[in-house]
Amino acid sequence: MAYQLFTYRHNKTLPEVAWLKEPFVYDFFTLWQVGERRLFRDTIGFQGPHEDRFWDIGYVTEGSGVVSIHGSVYQIRKGDCLVRMPGHTCMISSKDTDELQICYIRFELHDSERGEHPFACMNSMLLEKKDPVRRDHWGLADLFDQLLREIRYENRHLLLMAGSYVNQILVAAYRNYLGQVERNIDTSDHMVPSIGGKREIAERAVQYMNERVLELKELSSVADVLGYSYSYLSHVFREEMGTSLQAYFSKRRILTAMQFLHDEDNTVTRVAELLSYQSIHSFSKAFKKQTGQSPSEYQFRYANEKKASY
């Protein structure tokens, strides 16, 4: 990856943390790098080689700043998703009063020999919209956090788990593009999305489930609150989001469970109760289906990893 990295006004920028020592190769893409960057009163930029085939997807974890991608300028802040297409230059600047933190993946999409490429839609949408910055509504913070945790841990399931999280990051980034309107260039803040019809219904359902993950007992109540029949809401949600209401909420519950398990005082039983699972068995089964490990294994590994970092 012959990237040219250049830095302006070098001040308090910390060195980039790049975690992969070698690329991870999968069926539809190669993961070249997973990294983290912190900026304070500084600007960094990079440009790919002449035949650049690499994509970058970044997520702003803290702070605010400005990004210039392929000559267009956008304000960015915590919770934004950034996409750099192959061949595009990129410069990122932090504000004078704010530290900017970004995590990212760098990958290459393969030419598919087995029919339509599952991520071809991302390429065509970006070419059409030409807007690389979107507000995240699909849990990129959690996905990047889990990906970075897996890579730091370097366990025997790393290749499998990293591929799973990267696939989810790609889909989440694409869905963020489906659900947002374009923003103006050189504005001081985001425009308020103006979404109508079925898309608005699905987005409101997502917001309602995210905000009530601990108290929501039946998904039919989502339909009741929004004023639609459950069958209609289910149909609209799958059509607009590409997944079912149940699948989305199940994943949301597990991501919340992971956060609870970071606290050693929370037992597996307690977390299962907080999230209204019928039993520890059903909770453990759902957790392992999503993460590949039991809740107790995850909590133990997280605690050891946290101690080792001190």
Tell whether the model's pLDDT for residue 198 goes beyond 70: yes
Encode pLDDT of 268-293 as tens digits: 999 999 898 999 999 999 999 888 99
| pLDDT at site 67 | 85
The DSSP 8-state label assigned to residue 16 in this structure reads P
Residue with tokens 């949408």: 125
Helix H or strand E segment including 18: strand 17-18
- Encoding tokens for residue 180? 């947002």
- The answer to whether the beta carbons of residues 91 and 142 sit under 8 Å apart is no
The per-residue DSSP string of 65-132 comes to EEEEETTEEEEEETTEEEEE-TT--EEEEE-TT-EEEEEEEEEEEPPPSSSS-TTHHHHHHHHHH---
Q: Comparing 70-74, 99-103, 145-149, 208-212, which segment has the lowest mean pLDDT?
A: 70-74
How far apart, in Å, are the Cα atoms of 75 and each of 30, 80, 187, 277?
Answer: 30, 10, 7, 41
| pLDDT at site 208 | 86
- What distance in Å separates the CA atoms of residue 254 and residue 282, rounded to the nearest whole number? 12
| pLDDT at site 33 | 92
- Check for a shared fold between 4-178 and 197-309: no
The per-residue DSSP string of 286-297 comes to HHHHHHSS-HHH
Interval 113-130 mean pLDDT: 60
Neighbours of 34 (CB within 10 A): 25
Beta strands per DSSP E along 155-232: none
The DSSP 8-state label assigned to residue 192 in this structure reads P
- Encoding tokens for residue 205? 């359902």
| pLDDT at site 51 | 55
For the chain, what are the domain ranges? 4-178, 197-309
- The answer to whether the beta carbons of residues 90 and 56 sit under 8 Å apart is yes
Encode pLDDT of 33-73 as tens digits: 998 888 876 556 555 544 578 899 999 998 888 888 877 77
- What distance in Å separates the CA atoms of residue 176 and residue 259, rounded to the nearest whole number? 23
Given the candidates 1.10.287.950, 1.20.1250.20, 1.10.10.60, 3.10.450.50, the CATH classification of the domain at 197-309 is 1.10.10.60
- What distance in Å separates the CA atoms of residue 21 and residue 24, rounded to the nearest whole number? 10
Top CATH class of 4-178 equals: mainly beta
Tell whether the model's pLDDT for residue 231 goes beyond 60: yes
Encode pLDDT of 77-110 as tens digits: 888 999 988 888 888 888 766 788 999 999 998 8
- Encoding tokens for residue 232? 């209609």
| pLDDT at site 214 | 85
Tell whether the model's pLDDT for residue 16 goes beyond 90: no
Residue of 251, 293, 250, 238 whose CA lies nearest to 268: 293
Tell whether the model's pLDDT for residue 111 goes beyond 80: no
